[in-house]
Structure 1
């Protein structure tokens, strides 16, 4: 079963949007090692036609779970300039790491006229991707690290695989920078074994109404609004599950659920994830009890949807 060591290994892998191949290979190797101990050994779908995405088909799916495997970061431009990938917080002094053809890179983020730069001692090869330097801290109540969004969503999906009898588990790319993989993933699923329901395994925000240690967040809406009939079904099952949860209502933000809603397929969707503080910084923070509630909720919902 996935352990805290698995999670820490996930957190250490660089996977800025457009460069997801390393984490895809890690997931593929992990799945191949463990699939024979799962309740159902899945069909594994990957290859050039799916780029760096990975799909697992268990039994006769009714529902698909989507977890994105990319992260925010930065790309080197000219004259020490950086261009954000996705929407990282621009915090002066943040340590960034990466590699180009000249070797490893460790530098600090500098802000000039509201624009990001780096302070590395030499020029960085154009197009080099940089990510936050990782420092994982786990205490009795919380995990603190960069990229809990969406390494915890991936961890949740891997935990689900242990018990899942029927369903798709899908690891998508590019979510943090405009999406793009979901249309061909949805088409692939609907051609192989269609479903009419989806869950988005991702991490949401701590806000004035969503708090640490109050359970997993079931999102009634972000910028986009799932179909109420499906939400009512999800919430009804959540109430019967006995798993702690809280209901989220926001007016902005989006996820892979957006692309499900915009697709040509009649697939209901709902975002369900643990809330985090310090979003899109190197210091994201999630309560371990909320992560546990997330994994238990997915296990229950996928057995009853």
Structure 2
């Protein structure tokens, strides 16, 4: 799966501009499913038919971005964030636009790091003036981090592991599950980073009996980190609660029992800040009992997110264990 994760993380696809990553995923899963479609918002919905309950699995395709808001007379680009980005991690970072135009992020003179905000930052694409800059980039264009995949052996570093690793998990499960006991909908959603928008519309359309988001979550295992009972290498997580959802006790029990029966290590997760597609799925129509399986991830929303490969492998095993038996 490492090569699959490498390929997916290096593809351009910020929120609202997911066409390229969607096309790649669509080609990979087309031979593995019974039905496939792209809805009006851009979600990729793939169905693998089975006799049981209708289950929606969601992983978001989009990544964080920087949208150009102004080009000054000297060719420097001002921008705003698309998704949850902290300005302090951007200085000196390289970014790339959809057309391949690359740049680096600079900063105006400031007296204190406390003064650093998006208004003080700019993207330098090497243009000498506004005219030259606008031949390459214009207002509304979106850049993403330009950082490659790095295999550290047990650990992986890359941009966009949030949530291309979740997309890779769903693709791998599709490859390995042959005769599902349930009616499965694999949804690769759009615009999660700006408000779980794709999950909201696709859940309304599908009308699932159960929902399960597959995403990443923060950890509490780095020096002087905030307290959190999640660490790299100790297994995927079964979510209990985050900002957007209190997981349905039935779904939590199903996930825990599946992990224990298959001998898969797992961790219980309470995320005090943040949410996933499940936050939208569980409020769709009359309500959908929903849960989340997460892959622990250090340095979320930075250009160098890190996961443990064993957690990824065990994540595939846990999803298969959940899906291979009928859910009543």
TM score, norm. by length of structure 1: 0.89
Residue 16 of structure 2 is aligned to residue 10 of structure 1? no
Partners of 1:50 and 1:242 in 2: how far apart? Answer: 41
Q: Which among 95, 99, 119 is matched to residue 124 of structure 2?
A: 119
The verdict on how the C-alpha distance between 1:111 and 1:226 changes in structure 2, with shifts beyond 3 A counting, is farther
Q: Secondary structure at the match of 1:181?
A: helix
Alignment: residue pair count: 288
Task: Give a deviation string over 1:238-260, Cα, whole Å, max 9, x none.
Answer: 22221110111122211111101
1:73, 1:85 within 8 Å by CA — same for their partners in 2?
A: yes
Q: Secondary structure at the match of 1:203?
A: strand
The equivalent of 1:38 in structure 2 is none
The verdict on how the C-alpha distance between 1:181 and 1:106 changes in structure 2, with shifts beyond 3 A counting, is same
2:233, 2:311 within 8 Å by CA — same for their partners in 1?
A: yes
The verdict on how the C-alpha distance between 1:31 and 1:107 changes in structure 2, with shifts beyond 3 A counting, is same
Q: Which among 80, 83, 86 is matched to residue 86 of structure 1?
A: 83
1:196, 1:266 within 8 Å by CA — same for their partners in 2?
A: no
TM score, norm. by length of structure 2: 0.83
Partners of 1:13 and 1:93 in 2: how far apart? Answer: 21
The equivalent of 1:59 in structure 2 is 49
Task: Give a deviation string over 1:80-106, Cα, whole Å, max 9, x none.
Answer: 211000012322111111145xxx322
Q: Which runs of 5+ in 2 are unaligned?
A: 109-115, 128-132, 221-227
Q: Which runs of 5+ in 1 are unaligned?
A: 36-40
1:50, 1:185 within 8 Å by CA — same for their partners in 2?
A: no
The verdict on how the C-alpha distance between 1:11 and 1:126 changes in structure 2, with shifts beyond 3 A counting, is same
The equivalent of 2:101 in structure 1 is 105
Higher radius of gyration, 1 or 2: 2
Q: Secondary structure at the match of 2:300?
A: coil
1:146-185 equivalence runs, <5 A: 146-164=159-177, 165=180, 166=182, 167-185=184-202
Please state how far the C-alpha of 1:149 moved relative to its aligned partner.
Answer: 0.7
The equivalent of 2:210 in structure 1 is 197
Residue 279 of structure 2 is aligned to residue 258 of structure 1? yes
